[in-house]
Structure 1
Amino acid sequence: MDDPWLVVGLGNPGAGYSGNRHNVGQMVLATLADRIDARFKTHRTNAAVAEGRSYPAGPRLVLAKPNTFMNVSGGPVAELLGFYSLEPDRLIVVHDELDIPYDTVRLKRGGGHGGHNGIRDIIAAVGTGDFTRVRVGIGRPPGRMPAADFVLKDFGSTERETLPNLLEDAADAVQQIAAEGLAAAQLKFHTS
């Protein structure tokens, strides 16, 4: 059986959002696409899709960036699962996480949405929360800044210095989940 993994990077469409913290999931997908030498193309499921193998003879990856805003990501994700005839256990969602310190990657399967509206919409559209999440830590907003404002701001200059490493770590996590499973990936990323 060579079912692919559907890897969805959450974010908002348009150049004005591309450097926002909320778009870190799509930044990770750009890193993965470069690694597997795949290019994003418009797909009939209202997403940009790139396909390839994680490494020669490795697991197939379908990388998808919904063309919708973050809070309504569920429709395209459900359509992609249907198009590729995949169950949610073959879904990896890469997204920003306020409750994890910046420059940290955490992995989990299942659970609730934790206040993340993109995850909430995917759970509603797919009918389950039983999928894998690669949570990319962006930290909490400074002072009294509302979380909604913080996630829609670009990474700061200090963060941008280490952002490429964070994107590489998250891409490594996706590839390890696809190749070796969640438990093996958690051993690596939760003990470092």
Structure 2
Amino acid sequence: MSAFEYTSVMSSIIVGLALVDILISLNRLIRAGGGVRWHWAAPATALLIFLTVIQIWWSIYRPQAAPMTIGQFLPFVVELVLLFLLAAAALPDDVPPGGLDLKLYYQNNSPYLWSLFAAALGWMLFVEILGSALMGQPVLAVIEGHLVDLLVVGLFVALVFVRRLWVHAIALAFFYVGPLGWLSRSLG
């Protein structure tokens, strides 16, 4: 078995667990029926997280003949852990007997969610910039190639502190442009 096969299996397991966590939480919310007071922000953010996890898994597919060390794989594991934590926080794990208000859940949970989003994308950028620098590429050129990603990290960080839901709605609409662009990507 090649290094790619080992890493893709482990990645698929972690990604699968992340997606299952979102789906189980969604199932519990739906089954709770009237015990849940629905609000757009939590499910819209959960869908964005779901799509992001799928996109990251899709982008993992990079067969390579070169062996990979554990040291090369560990930064990737950190990314997968951050994505799992993000997915696990997307929706509440259960509905308390007194019911659940998803607007309140989102308002209380959004700083954590957007911090994880910022950490995940920030970590990915850091690893790529560091890797490029170690391979002798000019760091500023690599950073210039990721200006949109850096803007997105900035927006994630801003959402940690901004409490107005209309700002979150505009940001989510902007963030959904990414998944729409991913729809045409293919493996290989």
> What TM-score comes out, normalization by structure 2 length?
0.28
Structure showing greater radius of gyration is: 2
From the two aligned structures, give the one with the greater helix fraction: 2
From the two aligned structures, give the one with the greater strand fraction: 1
> What TM-score comes out, normalization by structure 1 length?
0.27
